[in-house]
Structure 1
Amino acid sequence: MKNKLMLYLEIKQMADQGISIAQIARQLKISRTTVYKYLEMTPEESFEWVNINVRIKVYIFDCLSMYTFVRNAFLYTCL
């Protein structure tokens, strides 16, 4: 999957060239709903959306890392 920010820019560029929603979706192998979603975003919203998704992934990774650490510590104390 392409970087979401690059996908946003590519969709905007194609739309500015007059390419139809259906053609954009076909060429990029995404749904028309996704094309509409990206076209409704402003550049600022797209940057914010990408940053929020990155922060969520980092948070989830941190939680999983902490879980693994605690689980391993518990197992070590039981041995």
Structure 2
Amino acid sequence: MSDRVNVTVDGIAVEVEPGTTILQACEEAGVEIPRFCYHERLSVAGNCRMCLVEVEKRPSPSPVVPCRLHRTWWSTPKATA
């Protein structure tokens, strides 16, 4: 049994599996993040930067698609695009 990761997305607490991307956590919380270059059947690019969000414990906005959550991060994305 894997330990789940607790995160907060725009004030909504969700519990996700380790290795979950920020995008997946946002979707579980019902928060839609705009993205242009992402498709689940293609490799992750993150080139368009449309999906940038603020994440606690990160110095600058991060693209939600390629970034995975880690156990010690408590994140609160806010759409910046």
TM-score over 0.5 (shorter chain): no
| Larger relative contact order (Cα-Cα within 8 Å, sequence gap ≥ 6) | 2
Which of structures 1 and 2 has the bigger CA Rg?
1
Structure (1 or 2) with the greater strand fraction: 2
**TM-score (normalizing by structure 2):** 0.25
